[in-house]
Amino acid sequence: MRHGKYRFVASFLAVPLVLYVFYVLWPYAQAFWIALTSWNGFAPPEYTGFSNFSRMFHDRLFIKAVEHNLFLLLTLPLITVAIALFLSFMLNVGGRSHSGIRSGVWGSKFYRVVFFFPQVLAVAIIGVLFQQILRPDTSGAVNGPLHALGLGPIGFLTNPTVAMWTVLGVLVWQAVGFYVVLFSAGMVSIPQDIYEAAELDGANRISMFFRVTLPLLFDTVQVAWVYLGIAAFDAFALVQVLTVEQGGPDGATTVLANQIYRENFINSRAGYASAIGVALFFLTLTFAALTIRLTRRERIEF
């Protein structure tokens, strides 16, 4: 039996472990080594120490990419969580109370289903979709009505100062529904009598939200914040598909992931691309460590 157990364990672990080590762990390990070389993908790699990393500080596009990732890191969680909290509060607690039982607003199930839908769509599809919707002339779905209102056409993707906000807007558009569902699940588990007690004490909707819902939902909000922070370090597919020149105009929307892709697959600088990958890894790690540190607090049991 004992002998049989070890053979069984080995037979179940062998294939997944081999696939995982070969395709995932080994490339990750290699990346740290390639980052220290001037490899171009063809000639044998040459060790160049940390020169790839010092090069970053003079790379205009790299610096822009870091700025854009940090911009997303600050704005994406804040805006998405704010909108999602508001909408889910309206869905779940916003309704009238019938003899003490608070119900969601009319049609709340429908809204939840609709809000969540963009989450199911591929980012690449959303990218092409919004490319058309945000067309700069009056044939665009947004610029057409804007023109009718007498407002000039906005170069959502062509104006360098607007383009990054457009990327943010589309990311928020896709993300909100997911967090509405997540927060709704959290709100449903808050006991009804807490709301009743608050109501008896004369709390209105606004103070109920800030004094009851938000504190009891803190753990879920924290999870959402970490998820959106990690998403802020990605944004690859959307920038690649949606923006002009895959990160333009003139680098106005590029992010680190797109720089990795560009340096390796277009400029054939495998060494430098890997170095950017290492930088991205440490940025993500720093963010995760900081979030866990800063948001540590007592858990409210209910």
Partner 1 sequence: MTTTHTDDVSASAPSARQPRSHAAAAGAERRRQVNLLAGLGHIALVIWALLVLLPLVWTFLAAFKTNAEIFGDAWTLPSHWSFAAFGRAWSKAHISTYMFNSVIIVVFSTFGTMLFGSMAAYVLARYRFWGNRFVYYLFVAGLAFPVFLAIVPLFFQVKNLGIVPVIGPYIGLGSRFGLILVYIAYSLPFTVFFLAAFFKTLPNSIAEAAIVDGASHTRLYFRVMLPMARSGIVSITIFNILGQWNQFLLPVALIQGQDADKRWVLTQGIANISTQAGYEADWPALFAALTLSILPMIVVYAIFQRQIQAGLTAGALK
Give whichever of 163 and 260 is closer to partner 1, judged by the CB atom: 260
Residue 272 · residue 266 · CB < 8 Å: no
Amino acid identity of residue 216, one-letter, is L
Q: Which of residues 81-120 bind partner 1 (CB under 8 A)?
A: 83, 86-87, 89-91, 94-97, 100, 105-107, 110-120
Q: Which stretch binds partner 1 (CB under 8 A): 13-21, 52-60, 70-78, 210-218?
A: 13-21
Q: Which of residues 133-192 bind partner 1 (CB under 8 A)?
A: 133, 137-141, 143-145, 173, 176-178, 181-182, 185
Give whichever of 38 and 220 is closer to partner 1, judged by the CB atom: 220
Tokens of 165: 């906000």
Give whichever of 17 and 74 is closer to partner 1, judged by the CB atom: 17
Q: Is 273 in the site for partner 1 (CB under 8 A)?
A: yes
Closest CA to 175 of 52, 89, 83, 95: 83
Whether the CA torsion 89, 92, 98, 99 is positive or negative: it is negative
Q: Is 69 in the site for partner 1 (CB under 8 A)?
A: no
Q: Which of 125, 266, 292, 300 binds partner 1 (CB under 8 A)?
A: 125
Q: Is 61 in the site for partner 1 (CB under 8 A)?
A: no
Q: Which stretch binds partner 1 (CB under 8 A): 62-70, 72-80, 152-160, 278-286?
A: 278-286
